[in-house]
């Protein structure tokens, strides 16, 4: 009683025919999930932040705090 020989001819093509569509489906699903769970909320958070952000007001606050070496606070 001997074991039957394994079928090696066409094994790679057979395995790829099965695994390749699964891999592509999982990759696309992961990309879509990442887009809608990470990037879209992040873009919305940036948009909300910059709707009310005033760069000049922020600059003046940093200038008064003495952060910049090239710009003196208005009190000096």
**Which tokens hold the place of 30?**
């992961």
Q: 27-66, pLDDT tens digit by residue?
A: 999 999 999 999 999 999 999 999 999 999 999 999 999 8
- DSSP designation for 10: T
Domain ranges (residues) in the chain: 40-75
- Whole-prediction pTM: 0.66
**Higher pLDDT pick, 74 / 40:** 40
How high is the pLDDT of residue 76? 64
In which residue are the tokens 């592509």 written?
24
Side-chain half-sphere CA neighbours of 27 within 13 A: 6
Closest alpha carbon to 74 in 65, 64, 59: 64
User: Residue length, the chain?
Assistant: 76
How high is the pLDDT of residue 38? 98
Phi, psi values for residue 6, rounded to 5°: -70, 145
């Amino acid at each position: 009683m001997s074991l039957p020989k394994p079928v090696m001819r066409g094994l790679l093509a057979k395995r790829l025919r099965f695994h390749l569509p699964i891999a592509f489906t999982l990759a696309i699903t992961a990309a879509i999930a990442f887009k809608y769970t990470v990037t879209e909320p992040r873009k919305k958070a940036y948009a909300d932040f910059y709707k009310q952000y005033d760069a000049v007001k922020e600059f003046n606050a940093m200038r008064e705090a003495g952060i910049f070496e090239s710009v003196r606070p208005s009190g000096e």
